[in-house]
Amino acid sequence: MSQNLIELQDIVKSFEDNSVLNGINLSIKKGETTSIIGKSGGGKSVLLKHIIGLLQHDSGNILFEGRPLSKMKKAERGELKDRFSYMFQGSALFDSMTVFENIALPLKEKRSKMKKSRIREKVRDQLEQLDLGSIGKQYPSQLSGGMKKRVALARALVTDPEIVLFDEPTTGLDPIRKNAVHSMISDYQKKYGFTAVVVSHEIPDIFYISHRIAMLYEGRIIFQGTPEEIYAADNRDVQAFIRGMESRHDELTGLPPRSQGQRRYQEEVARLRQEDAFCVVMLAIESPDQTDREIKYWADQNAMQNFAARMKKHLRVTDICSRYGLNKIMLMLPNTNFEQAHNICEKLAEDMRCSNDGENPFASNSPCFTVTAGISEANAERSLEQVIMDAENSRDTFYEFQMR
């Protein structure tokens, strides 16, 4: 299906006596988001720097589209580099240049000459898209950490790269901004179809946006596969790591993470008697395509947070919910049939409308969000995946609201 764009074979790297990478084998597929997880100081960034050639490996091979980098001519490697973009952990913005100049630099210095007016237009577009329109003339030192990250993201994406390497893009951000950056990466990845490699230790948030996960442990890749596969992996180090990193509650919504939802589903199914059924409701918060993208990402996450907080108030003791994706919440309603589940959803929506009227926190000109709900009945024969797929296919709008 999708071919290996980059392949690392037996990469070894040591700094003096300290060996960091002891034979890395990793393949990165075209058009997918691959995340590299692992302990801090475990060589994740070092690995990423090898891919773009900032560091030279001691031995091993890096293949690009099947051809070894070491056998390429200098000009070829130069051309190849033009297709890459790198977002640094510390943003690495040029602090003696304004935000505008920072973003314009990679365009200005590109080999294929671009007209000045075209560059200006492109940079302005990029600034606008990332909600940075007003700070073009400021210097990086005048910006907050989150803004710097966005400028760095803008600089990485302005050249329309084919491969973008992200080195811990969310470190040091608050939960809303963290999730906003994740959804931004995921959105852009879908929109432009670039291949993304993300180094991160945000578990499980990073699983929501990744197609593939690779885990680095003691200088080797001990696991490669999809997010579903990593939960099922029987490697003890992998399990210990992801269980250890995964907090009991999602930072943004305070809901339990996906893995816990899956565990609870198994438990419920096991407890189920023949004739009983219980319902799974998939809730998704969507913001319709807005012409005004200014606050989209930030507002999306804010909406998610508020919605989850309100929803929790309306749940029964036996109800189980967990965050299932970037903007998805899974709700399990034991001892409830389809009709009852439907009523519960209606009531939920009704209650929310009422609570909104009471508090009236939403301005009339703010963007509109839609919450959709899909209900599906679960029973012992069906796996969670099937149930969820069913629920998602039957989704229906049940609640609309606006946010500042």
Partner 1 sequence: MKAAELAISPFAATGKFSLFLIGEIGRIAIFFFHGLFTIFTYPFRISNLMDQIYFIGLKSIFVIALTGAFTGMVLGLQGYYTLVKFGSEGMLGPAVGLTLIRELGPVLAAIMITARAGSAMAAELGIMRISEQIDALATMNINPIKYLFSPRLAASLISFPLLTSIFDVVGIFGGFLTGSILLGINSGIYFSHMEAAIVMDDITGGYVKSIVFGALVATICCFQGYYTHTRKEGFGAKGVGKATTSAVVFSSVLILISDYIITSFLL
Cis peptide before 106 (omega within 30 of 0): no
Cα gap 166→89, rounded to integer Å:
8
**Number of amino acids touching partner 1 (CB under 8 A):** 24
387 three-state secondary structure: helix
Minimum gap (Å) between residue 357 Cβ and partner 1: 50
93 binds partner 1 per the rule CB under 8 A: yes
| 86 binding partner 1? (CB under 8 A) | yes
Which residue spans within 200-300 are E strands per DSSP? 212-217, 220-225, 278-286
111 binds partner 1 (CB under 8 A): yes
15, 65, 94, 243: which one binds partner 1 (CB under 8 A): 94
CB of 161 to partner 1, least distance (A): 10
Q: How far is the CB of 209 from partner 1 (least distance, A)?
A: 22
Provide, rounded to whole angstroms, the least separation between the CB of residue 82 and partner 1.
5
Under the binding rule (CB under 8 A), the answer on residue 105 touching partner 1 is yes
Answer for which of 23, 39, 61, 82 binds partner 1 (CB under 8 A) is 82
Dist CA 139 CA 146 (whole Å): 14
d(CA 211, CA 328): 17
Residues 53 to 72 in contact with partner 1, rule: CB under 8 A: 53-54
* Angle (CA) 142 146 150, round 5°: 95
Smallest CA-to-CA distance from 103 within 135, 162, 144, 151 is with 151
Nearer to partner 1, 37 or 87 (CB): 87
Residue partners of 322: CB distance under 8 A and separation at least 6: 255, 256, 257, 258, 260, 261, 264, 329, 330
Rounded least distance, CB 159 to partner 1, Å? 8
Judged by CB under 8 A, the chain residues 30 through 49 that form the site for partner 1 are: 49
Instruction: Give the shortest CB-51-to-partner 1 separation in angstroms.
Output: 10
Please, what is the end-to-end C-alpha distance for the chain in angstroms?
43
Task: Using DSSP, state whether 324 is helix, strand or coil.
Answer: strand
Q: Which is nearer to partner 1, 69 or 105 (CB)?
A: 105
Residue of 84, 194, 241, 278 interacting with partner 1 (CB under 8 A):
84
Asked if residue 183 binds partner 1 (CB under 8 A), the reply is no
d(CA 74, CA 147): 36
Residue among 95, 160, 229, 267 that touches partner 1 (CB under 8 A): 95
CA distances from 354 to 40, 41, 132, 374 (A): 46, 50, 35, 22
- Minimum CB distance to partner 1, residue 78 (Å): 6
Site residues, partner 1 (CB under 8 A): 49, 52-54, 78, 81-82, 84-86, 88-90, 92-96, 105-106, 109-111, 159
